[in-house]
Amino acid sequence: PYLKRDRAILVRHWKIIVVLAILGVTTFNTLVYTGLQYTTALNALLMQSSMPVVIVLMSYLFFRERVTAVQAVGIGLSLIGALAIVAQGNVAMLLGLSLNFGDVLIMVAVFGYAAYSSLLRRRPGLHPLSFLASTFIVGTLCLAPFYVWENLSGRVMHFDTVTALSVLYVAIFPSILSYLFFNRGVELMGANRAGLFIHLMPIFGSLMAMVFLGERLYWFHGLGIMLIVSGIYLATRLKR
């Protein structure tokens, strides 16, 4: 019903809708999932940890939006905290990383999503569900040729119960809900502040690993959580 109501706005602002759909849906998801086939989960997490910094860069390039000194310190603390958790407090692990084709794909995806986050301020006055549905529809249409090519290449997905549940989980949580909430967060706080909350992913990942996989909490988890929370507080709460 919201799409029908907002049809005139969608037609009038179709260009920015297409750009946002390609950046935030098609490019990001395609490159991340493709990149994960060529690199490790650790490398992927490290690449994605840079996203809040890249969002700040994109906001400056597109809109000349500057960050205060306090915000810069907050972003830095949050980044260090995320890296501490991902690298398990091992600096040598970070220094010894080798980059490959998958890392390049994921880094391009990071820049694409950062551009999407920054350009959300150009989003027309649509209902959140209208905007979400329109970008998902356009993004899916842009993905269709690659889906056909993949099937013609013999890489056909075989559905079973596990696959169906996995697809359902990805569709609901990392897709519909995460985009809906992040878009709203950017609307309320701006891209630079909202982007910082991406650094909460390693925290929740660690906590979920403890609950579902029985993993232990180590000192680097505590350090990372402290730095991330402090950084987010500095960058989002303190004005000067």
Q: For the residues 28-48, what does the mean pLDDT come to?
A: 88
What average pLDDT does the structure give for the chain? 90
Domain that holds residue 62: 2-237
In sign, the C-alpha dihedral spanning 71, 75, 80, 84 is positive
Q: How many domains does the chain have?
A: 1
Highest mean pLDDT of the ranges 59-68, 96-105, 207-216: 59-68
Region 12-21: what's the mean pLDDT? 96
One-character DSSP codes across the chain: -HHHHTHHHHHHTHHHHHHHHIIIIIIHHHHHHHHTTTS-HHHHHHHHHTHHHHHHHHHHHHH-----HHHHHHHHHHHHHHHHHHTTT-HHHHHT----HHHHHHHHHHHHHHHHHHHGGG--S--HHHHHHHHHHHHHHHHHHHHHHHHHTT-PPPP-HHHHHHHHHHIIIIIIIHHHHHHHHHHHH-HHHHHHGGGHHHHHHHHHHHHHH-PPP-HHHHHHHHHHHHHHHHHHH---
Residues 118-134 have a mean pLDDT of 94
**111 residue type, one letter:** F
Bigger pLDDT: 1 vs 182: 182
Q: Comparing 101 with 2, which gets the higher pLDDT?
A: 101
Q: What is the pLDDT of residues 68-90, one digit of tens each?
A: 888 899 999 999 999 998 888 88
Q: Which residue has the tokens 């350009």?
A: 119
- The pLDDT value given to residue 238: 58
Distances in whole angstroms, Cα of residue 161 to Cα of each of 67, 86, 89, 151: 48, 31, 38, 21
Identify the band that residue 46 occupies on the pLDDT scale cut at 50, 70 and 90: confident
Of residues 39 and 118, more confidence is placed in 118
Closest CA to 48 of 165, 198, 239, 237: 198
Per-residue pLDDT band for 240 (boundaries 50, 70, 90) equals: very low
pLDDT of 7 > 70? The answer is yes
Q: For the segment 102-115, what is each residue's pLDDT rounded down to a tens digit?
A: 999 999 999 999 99
pLDDT one-digit tens code per residue, 190-235: 999 999 999 998 888 888 888 887 888 889 999 999 999 999 998 8
**Radius of gyration of the chain measured on its C-alpha atoms:** 19
